[in-house]
Structure 1
Amino acid sequence: MTWPATDRYDIEPAPDGLALVQDLLNTLSAGKPRETDLLLERADAQAWLDAVRQGRDPAQDQQPIHLDGDDVRHLRAFRDGLREWLADAAADAEDQPDGERGTLPGMTFDATLRLTPDGTVRVEPAGSGWQAVVSLILIEMLHAQQADNWRRLKVCRSERCRVTFFDRSRNNSGVWHDVRKCGHPANLRAYRARRRTQEQSDSQH
Protein backbone atom coordinates (compact mmCIF):
# COMPACT_ATOMS: atom_id res chain seq x y z
CA MET A 1 0.00 0.00 0.00
CA THR A 2 1.01 3.57 -0.64
CA TRP A 3 0.19 6.22 1.92
CA PRO A 4 0.76 9.55 0.13
CA ALA A 5 0.27 11.82 3.13
CA THR A 6 2.44 9.85 5.57
CA ASP A 7 5.09 8.99 2.98
CA ARG A 8 5.96 12.64 2.41
CA TYR A 9 7.08 12.92 6.04
CA ASP A 10 9.30 9.84 5.72
CA ILE A 11 7.41 8.06 8.52
CA GLU A 12 6.81 4.34 8.76
CA PRO A 13 3.07 3.69 8.41
CA ALA A 14 1.02 2.23 11.23
CA PRO A 15 0.15 -1.47 10.95
CA ASP A 16 -2.86 -2.75 9.03
CA GLY A 17 -5.80 -0.41 8.46
CA LEU A 18 -4.66 2.02 11.14
CA ALA A 19 -2.31 3.35 8.46
CA LEU A 20 -5.38 4.78 6.72
CA VAL A 21 -6.34 6.76 9.82
CA GLN A 22 -2.74 7.94 10.15
CA ASP A 23 -2.68 8.99 6.51
CA LEU A 24 -5.88 11.02 6.90
CA LEU A 25 -4.36 12.85 9.87
CA ASN A 26 -1.16 13.49 7.93
CA THR A 27 -3.01 15.18 5.06
CA LEU A 28 -2.71 18.30 7.21
CA SER A 29 0.05 20.78 6.52
CA ALA A 30 2.77 19.70 8.95
CA GLY A 31 6.44 18.82 9.15
CA LYS A 32 9.56 20.92 8.63
CA PRO A 33 9.18 22.60 6.14
CA ARG A 34 5.40 22.58 6.00
CA GLU A 35 3.83 20.39 3.35
CA THR A 36 0.63 21.19 1.45
CA ASP A 37 -2.73 20.46 3.07
CA LEU A 38 -4.09 17.65 0.91
CA LEU A 39 -7.67 18.37 1.96
CA LEU A 40 -7.57 22.06 1.14
CA GLU A 41 -8.79 21.72 -2.46
CA ARG A 42 -11.37 19.26 -3.79
CA ALA A 43 -9.12 17.90 -6.55
CA ASP A 44 -6.29 17.20 -4.11
CA ALA A 45 -8.67 15.57 -1.62
CA GLN A 46 -10.15 13.32 -4.31
CA ALA A 47 -6.68 12.35 -5.54
CA TRP A 48 -5.64 11.47 -1.97
CA LEU A 49 -8.79 9.39 -1.41
CA ASP A 50 -8.42 7.51 -4.68
CA ALA A 51 -4.76 6.77 -3.90
CA VAL A 52 -5.35 5.34 -0.43
CA ARG A 53 -8.22 3.16 -1.63
CA GLN A 54 -6.15 1.52 -4.34
CA GLY A 55 -5.08 -1.97 -3.38
CA ARG A 56 -7.58 -2.33 -0.54
CA ASP A 57 -9.53 -5.56 -0.23
CA PRO A 58 -12.35 -5.18 -2.80
CA ALA A 59 -14.61 -7.29 -0.61
CA GLN A 60 -14.38 -4.61 2.06
CA ASP A 61 -14.24 -1.47 -0.01
CA GLN A 62 -16.11 -1.75 -3.30
CA GLN A 63 -18.05 1.41 -4.02
CA PRO A 64 -16.39 4.52 -5.44
CA ILE A 65 -16.53 7.60 -3.22
CA HIS A 66 -16.78 11.00 -4.85
CA LEU A 67 -16.14 14.21 -2.92
CA ASP A 68 -17.60 17.63 -3.61
CA GLY A 69 -16.64 20.92 -1.99
CA ASP A 70 -18.91 20.45 1.02
CA ASP A 71 -17.63 16.90 1.52
CA VAL A 72 -14.05 18.17 1.65
CA ARG A 73 -14.96 20.84 4.18
CA HIS A 74 -16.68 18.32 6.46
CA LEU A 75 -13.87 15.79 6.09
CA ARG A 76 -11.28 18.44 6.90
CA ALA A 77 -13.22 19.41 10.05
CA PHE A 78 -13.40 15.76 11.13
CA ARG A 79 -9.67 15.31 10.56
CA ASP A 80 -8.79 18.46 12.48
CA GLY A 81 -10.99 17.49 15.42
CA LEU A 82 -9.57 13.97 15.63
CA ARG A 83 -6.00 15.21 15.36
CA GLU A 84 -6.53 17.86 18.04
CA TRP A 85 -8.02 15.21 20.33
CA LEU A 86 -5.02 12.94 19.82
CA ALA A 87 -2.62 15.78 20.64
CA ASP A 88 -4.60 16.82 23.73
CA ALA A 89 -4.93 13.21 24.86
CA ALA A 90 -1.16 12.76 24.73
CA ALA A 91 -0.66 15.86 26.84
CA ASP A 92 -3.25 14.66 29.37
CA ALA A 93 -1.57 11.25 29.54
CA GLU A 94 1.72 12.91 30.50
CA ASP A 95 0.02 14.82 33.30
CA GLN A 96 -1.94 11.75 34.42
CA PRO A 97 -0.11 8.63 33.20
CA ASP A 98 -2.82 6.30 34.47
CA GLY A 99 -5.68 8.40 33.13
CA GLU A 100 -7.72 7.84 30.01
CA ARG A 101 -7.82 9.96 26.91
CA GLY A 102 -10.28 12.81 26.76
CA THR A 103 -13.59 12.73 24.95
CA LEU A 104 -14.65 13.43 21.40
CA PRO A 105 -18.04 14.84 20.40
CA GLY A 106 -20.52 12.01 19.92
CA MET A 107 -20.95 11.08 16.27
CA THR A 108 -23.07 8.52 14.45
CA PHE A 109 -22.16 7.09 11.05
CA ASP A 110 -23.55 4.14 9.14
CA ALA A 111 -21.76 0.87 8.39
CA THR A 112 -22.86 -2.48 6.98
CA LEU A 113 -22.34 -5.93 8.46
CA ARG A 114 -21.92 -8.50 5.68
CA LEU A 115 -21.83 -12.26 6.11
CA THR A 116 -19.64 -13.88 3.44
CA PRO A 117 -20.15 -17.43 2.09
CA ASP A 118 -17.23 -18.70 4.18
CA GLY A 119 -18.89 -17.46 7.39
CA THR A 120 -16.74 -14.35 7.85
CA VAL A 121 -18.49 -11.23 9.10
CA ARG A 122 -17.19 -8.05 7.47
CA VAL A 123 -17.83 -4.47 8.51
CA GLU A 124 -18.08 -2.27 5.43
CA PRO A 125 -18.43 1.50 5.07
CA ALA A 126 -21.81 2.94 4.18
CA GLY A 127 -23.09 6.29 2.99
CA SER A 128 -21.66 8.61 0.38
CA GLY A 129 -19.18 11.47 0.16
CA TRP A 130 -17.39 12.47 3.32
CA GLN A 131 -19.67 10.30 5.48
CA ALA A 132 -18.51 7.19 3.61
CA VAL A 133 -14.88 8.20 4.20
CA VAL A 134 -15.49 8.72 7.93
CA SER A 135 -17.38 5.41 8.08
CA LEU A 136 -14.28 3.72 6.64
CA ILE A 137 -12.02 5.57 9.08
CA LEU A 138 -14.14 4.58 12.08
CA ILE A 139 -14.10 0.94 11.00
CA GLU A 140 -10.30 1.00 10.97
CA MET A 141 -10.27 2.76 14.34
CA LEU A 142 -12.49 -0.01 15.72
CA HIS A 143 -10.16 -2.72 14.40
CA ALA A 144 -7.15 -0.90 15.86
CA GLN A 145 -8.85 -0.63 19.25
CA GLN A 146 -9.66 -4.34 19.18
CA ALA A 147 -6.00 -5.07 18.38
CA ASP A 148 -4.87 -2.64 21.14
CA ASN A 149 -2.99 -0.52 18.60
CA TRP A 150 -5.13 2.61 18.75
CA ARG A 151 -3.39 3.97 21.85
CA ARG A 152 -0.09 4.00 19.95
CA LEU A 153 -1.23 6.51 17.32
CA LYS A 154 0.15 9.89 18.40
CA VAL A 155 0.87 13.44 17.24
CA CYS A 156 4.51 14.51 17.46
CA ARG A 157 4.98 16.79 20.46
CA SER A 158 7.11 19.27 18.48
CA GLU A 159 5.07 22.37 17.62
CA ARG A 160 7.27 22.74 14.55
CA CYS A 161 6.32 19.29 13.31
CA ARG A 162 3.00 17.82 14.57
CA VAL A 163 2.92 14.85 12.21
CA THR A 164 1.03 11.73 13.28
CA PHE A 165 3.13 8.64 13.98
CA PHE A 166 2.75 5.13 15.34
CA ASP A 167 4.66 4.66 18.58
CA ARG A 168 6.62 1.43 18.39
CA SER A 169 8.42 1.86 21.70
CA ARG A 170 8.06 -1.10 24.04
CA ASN A 171 6.29 0.86 26.78
CA ASN A 172 4.40 3.22 24.45
CA SER A 173 6.30 6.22 25.81
CA GLY A 174 7.29 7.93 22.56
CA VAL A 175 6.37 11.58 22.10
CA TRP A 176 8.49 12.51 19.05
CA HIS A 177 8.01 11.07 15.59
CA ASP A 178 11.80 11.26 15.24
CA VAL A 179 13.97 11.86 18.32
CA ARG A 180 16.89 13.15 16.28
CA LYS A 181 14.83 15.60 14.20
CA CYS A 182 12.32 16.75 16.80
CA GLY A 183 13.34 15.48 20.24
CA HIS A 184 16.94 16.66 20.45
CA PRO A 185 16.26 20.22 19.16
CA ALA A 186 13.30 20.60 21.52
CA ASN A 187 15.28 19.33 24.50
CA LEU A 188 18.14 21.69 23.64
CA ARG A 189 15.78 24.67 23.45
CA ALA A 190 14.28 23.70 26.81
CA TYR A 191 17.73 23.34 28.35
CA ARG A 192 18.80 26.76 27.08
CA ALA A 193 15.59 28.34 28.37
CA ARG A 194 16.14 26.83 31.84
CA ARG A 195 19.74 28.01 31.81
CA ARG A 196 18.73 31.59 30.92
CA THR A 197 16.14 31.56 33.68
CA GLN A 198 18.72 30.31 36.18
CA GLU A 199 21.26 32.93 35.10
CA GLN A 200 18.67 35.69 35.45
CA SER A 201 17.77 34.41 38.89
CA ASP A 202 21.41 34.25 39.95
CA SER A 203 22.05 37.81 38.71
CA GLN A 204 19.28 39.13 40.95
CA HIS A 205 20.94 37.79 44.09
Structure 2
Amino acid sequence: MTWSATARYSLVPAPGSLGFVHDLLNTRSAGRPRRPDLLAEVTSAQDWAGEALAAWAGETGQEVPAVALGEDDLDPLRDLRVDLHALVAGPAAPQPEHQAGVVLRLGSDGRVRPEPRGTGWRALASVALIAIADAQAADTWRRLKACRNLRCEAAFFDRSRNNSGTWHDVRVCGNPANLRAYRARQRSEKN
Protein backbone atom coordinates (compact mmCIF):
# COMPACT_ATOMS: atom_id res chain seq x y z
CA MET A 1 0.00 0.00 0.00
CA THR A 2 1.09 3.52 -0.61
CA TRP A 3 0.16 6.92 0.71
CA SER A 4 -1.03 8.41 -2.60
CA ALA A 5 -1.37 12.06 -1.54
CA THR A 6 2.19 12.13 -0.17
CA ALA A 7 3.57 10.17 -3.13
CA ARG A 8 2.39 12.85 -5.57
CA TYR A 9 4.98 15.19 -4.01
CA SER A 10 7.69 12.49 -4.29
CA LEU A 11 8.07 12.42 -0.52
CA VAL A 12 8.90 9.52 1.75
CA PRO A 13 5.91 9.08 4.08
CA ALA A 14 6.06 9.46 7.82
CA PRO A 15 6.62 6.15 9.59
CA GLY A 16 3.84 3.92 10.86
CA SER A 17 0.34 5.19 11.32
CA LEU A 18 1.58 8.81 11.25
CA GLY A 19 1.66 8.27 7.49
CA PHE A 20 -2.13 8.68 7.58
CA VAL A 21 -1.88 12.21 9.01
CA HIS A 22 0.98 13.03 6.64
CA ASP A 23 -1.16 11.88 3.73
CA LEU A 24 -4.22 13.79 4.96
CA LEU A 25 -2.12 16.97 5.09
CA ASN A 26 -0.91 16.40 1.53
CA THR A 27 -4.44 16.13 0.14
CA ARG A 28 -4.44 19.92 -0.04
CA SER A 29 -3.50 21.90 -3.08
CA ALA A 30 0.18 22.46 -2.41
CA GLY A 31 3.62 21.88 -3.85
CA ARG A 32 5.38 23.21 -6.88
CA PRO A 33 3.65 22.88 -9.27
CA ARG A 34 0.33 22.97 -7.45
CA ARG A 35 -1.51 19.68 -7.23
CA PRO A 36 -5.32 19.47 -7.05
CA ASP A 37 -7.11 19.38 -3.70
CA LEU A 38 -8.13 15.77 -3.16
CA LEU A 39 -10.87 16.82 -0.72
CA ALA A 40 -12.53 19.21 -3.17
CA GLU A 41 -15.13 16.69 -4.33
CA VAL A 42 -16.79 13.64 -2.79
CA THR A 43 -15.44 11.25 -5.43
CA SER A 44 -11.78 12.24 -5.05
CA ALA A 45 -12.13 12.43 -1.25
CA GLN A 46 -13.66 8.94 -1.13
CA ASP A 47 -10.93 7.55 -3.40
CA TRP A 48 -8.22 9.09 -1.20
CA ALA A 49 -9.88 7.89 2.02
CA GLY A 50 -10.17 4.32 0.75
CA GLU A 51 -6.49 4.17 -0.23
CA ALA A 52 -5.29 5.93 2.95
CA LEU A 53 -7.36 3.71 5.23
CA ALA A 54 -6.02 0.60 3.48
CA ALA A 55 -2.45 1.88 3.98
CA TRP A 56 -3.23 2.71 7.63
CA ALA A 57 -4.62 -0.79 8.17
CA GLY A 58 -1.46 -2.23 6.61
CA GLU A 59 0.69 -0.21 9.02
CA THR A 60 -1.34 -1.00 12.14
CA GLY A 61 -2.55 -4.53 11.45
CA GLN A 62 -6.13 -3.44 12.08
CA GLU A 63 -9.16 -3.99 9.89
CA VAL A 64 -9.83 -1.41 7.19
CA PRO A 65 -12.69 0.74 8.52
CA ALA A 66 -15.54 1.18 6.06
CA VAL A 67 -15.99 4.92 5.67
CA ALA A 68 -18.50 6.47 3.30
CA LEU A 69 -18.09 10.19 2.70
CA GLY A 70 -20.87 12.52 1.63
CA GLU A 71 -21.04 16.16 0.67
CA ASP A 72 -21.63 17.15 4.33
CA ASP A 73 -18.32 15.52 5.33
CA LEU A 74 -16.08 17.63 3.08
CA ASP A 75 -16.10 20.95 4.97
CA PRO A 76 -15.43 19.41 8.42
CA LEU A 77 -12.70 17.19 6.95
CA ARG A 78 -11.04 20.17 5.25
CA ASP A 79 -11.34 22.14 8.52
CA LEU A 80 -9.56 19.32 10.36
CA ARG A 81 -6.85 19.37 7.71
CA VAL A 82 -6.42 23.16 8.07
CA ASP A 83 -6.09 22.86 11.85
CA LEU A 84 -3.57 20.02 11.58
CA HIS A 85 -1.60 21.97 8.98
CA ALA A 86 -1.42 24.95 11.33
CA LEU A 87 0.01 22.66 14.03
CA VAL A 88 2.76 21.26 11.80
CA ALA A 89 3.54 24.66 10.25
CA GLY A 90 4.92 25.87 13.55
CA PRO A 91 3.89 27.89 16.57
CA ALA A 92 0.49 29.38 15.98
CA ALA A 93 -2.58 30.67 17.70
CA PRO A 94 -4.50 28.19 19.84
CA GLN A 95 -6.33 25.67 17.70
CA PRO A 96 -9.92 24.56 18.09
CA GLU A 97 -10.28 21.27 19.91
CA HIS A 98 -11.11 18.15 17.96
CA GLN A 99 -12.81 15.11 19.40
CA ALA A 100 -13.24 11.67 17.94
CA GLY A 101 -14.72 8.40 19.07
CA VAL A 102 -12.26 5.70 20.05
CA VAL A 103 -12.71 2.29 21.62
CA LEU A 104 -9.92 0.64 23.56
CA ARG A 105 -9.81 -3.08 22.91
CA LEU A 106 -7.83 -5.67 24.85
CA GLY A 107 -6.41 -8.15 22.35
CA SER A 108 -5.68 -11.82 22.88
CA ASP A 109 -1.99 -10.87 23.09
CA GLY A 110 -2.71 -8.75 26.17
CA ARG A 111 -2.15 -5.42 24.38
CA VAL A 112 -4.67 -2.61 24.47
CA ARG A 113 -5.26 -1.03 21.07
CA PRO A 114 -7.34 2.01 20.20
CA GLU A 115 -9.85 1.44 17.42
CA PRO A 116 -11.43 4.30 15.47
CA ARG A 117 -15.15 4.92 15.67
CA GLY A 118 -17.61 7.18 13.94
CA THR A 119 -18.94 7.64 10.44
CA GLY A 120 -17.89 9.87 7.58
CA TRP A 121 -15.33 12.52 8.40
CA ARG A 122 -15.53 11.63 12.12
CA ALA A 123 -14.10 8.18 11.43
CA LEU A 124 -11.19 9.76 9.54
CA ALA A 125 -10.66 12.23 12.40
CA SER A 126 -10.60 9.28 14.81
CA VAL A 127 -7.88 7.54 12.77
CA ALA A 128 -5.87 10.79 12.56
CA LEU A 129 -6.07 11.51 16.29
CA ILE A 130 -5.09 7.93 17.17
CA ALA A 131 -2.10 8.24 14.82
CA ILE A 132 -1.09 11.57 16.39
CA ALA A 133 -1.34 10.12 19.90
CA ASP A 134 0.84 7.18 18.85
CA ALA A 135 3.36 9.55 17.22
CA GLN A 136 3.46 11.75 20.30
CA ALA A 137 4.16 8.70 22.46
CA ALA A 138 6.95 7.67 20.04
CA ASP A 139 8.25 11.29 19.85
CA THR A 140 7.87 11.39 16.05
CA TRP A 141 4.98 13.90 15.90
CA ARG A 142 7.38 16.87 16.14
CA ARG A 143 9.08 15.72 12.93
CA LEU A 144 5.96 16.19 10.80
CA LYS A 145 6.25 19.69 9.33
CA ALA A 146 5.02 21.95 6.56
CA CYS A 147 7.43 23.31 3.96
CA ARG A 148 8.38 26.85 4.92
CA ASN A 149 8.04 28.00 1.30
CA LEU A 150 4.66 29.74 1.30
CA ARG A 151 4.24 28.91 -2.38
CA CYS A 152 4.49 25.23 -1.53
CA GLU A 153 3.62 24.24 2.09
CA ALA A 154 3.67 20.50 1.33
CA ALA A 155 3.84 18.41 4.51
CA PHE A 156 7.03 16.42 5.02
CA PHE A 157 8.58 14.19 7.65
CA ASP A 158 11.88 15.68 8.83
CA ARG A 159 14.48 12.94 8.88
CA SER A 160 17.39 15.24 9.66
CA ARG A 161 19.49 14.21 12.63
CA ASN A 162 18.69 17.35 14.64
CA ASN A 163 15.12 17.88 13.35
CA SER A 164 16.11 21.14 11.66
CA GLY A 165 14.53 20.65 8.23
CA THR A 166 12.44 23.51 6.90
CA TRP A 167 11.86 22.62 3.23
CA HIS A 168 10.06 19.63 1.80
CA ASP A 169 12.80 19.57 -0.87
CA VAL A 170 15.88 21.80 -0.54
CA ARG A 171 16.47 21.85 -4.31
CA VAL A 172 12.90 22.82 -5.19
CA CYS A 173 11.99 25.15 -2.32
CA GLY A 174 15.10 25.82 -0.23
CA ASN A 175 17.62 26.89 -2.87
CA PRO A 176 15.36 29.52 -4.50
CA ALA A 177 14.42 30.96 -1.09
CA ASN A 178 18.03 31.03 0.05
CA LEU A 179 19.10 32.67 -3.23
CA ARG A 180 16.41 35.37 -2.84
CA ALA A 181 17.56 36.05 0.73
CA TYR A 182 21.21 36.23 -0.39
CA ARG A 183 20.38 38.68 -3.19
CA ALA A 184 18.33 40.84 -0.79
CA ARG A 185 21.29 40.99 1.61
CA GLN A 186 23.60 41.94 -1.25
CA ARG A 187 21.28 44.78 -2.33
CA SER A 188 20.96 46.09 1.23
CA GLU A 189 24.75 46.07 1.69
CA LYS A 190 25.14 48.22 -1.48
CA ASN A 191 22.74 50.85 -0.16
Task: Read off the aligned partner of 1:105 and give its amino acid letter.
Answer: P
Determine what percentage of the aligned residue pairs are the same residue.
51
In terms of mean alpha carbon deviation, does 135-144 or 62-71 score higher?
Answer: 62-71
Within a 5 Å distance, the mapping from 1:125-204 to structure 2 comes to: 125-199=116-190, 201=191
SS in 2 for 1:54: helix
Larger Rg: 1
- 1:11 is the counterpart of 2:4: no
CA contact (8 A) 1:61 1:124 kept: no
Name the CA distance, whole Å, in 2 between partners of 1:88 and 1:63: 31
- TM-score when normalising by structure 1: 0.87
Residue pair 1:61, 1:125 contacting (<8 A) in 2 also: no
Displacement after TM superposition at 1:13 (Å): 0.6
Q: Within 5 Å, which residues of 2 pair with 1:24-103?
A: 24-55=24-55, 56-57=57-58, 60-89=62-91, 103=94
* Code of the aligned partner of 1:63: P
Q: Partner of 1:122: helix, strand, or coil?
A: strand
Runs of 4+ residues deviating >3 angstroms: none
The question of 1:20 aligning with 2:14 is answered: no
Count how many residue pairs are aligned between Structure 1 and Structure 2: 189
Q: Contact conserved, 1:113 with 1:124, CA < 8 A, in 2?
A: yes
How far apart, CA to CA, are the structure 2 residues paired with 1:63 and 1:9?
26
Q: Distance in 2 between the 1:167 and 1:59 partners?
A: 25
Compute the RMSD of aligned alpha carbons. Answer: 1.6
Amino acid at match of 1:197: S
Which structure 2 segments of 5+ residues have no match? Answer: none
Q: CA deviation at 1:197?
A: 2.5
Equivalence for 1:119: 110
Which digits, 9 at most, give the CA deviation of each residue in 1:38-59, with x for residues without a partner?
A: 0000100000000112251586
Cα distance in 1 for residues equivalent to 2:76 and 2:47: 17
Distance 1:157 1:59, change over 3 A: closer
TM-score by length of 2: 0.93
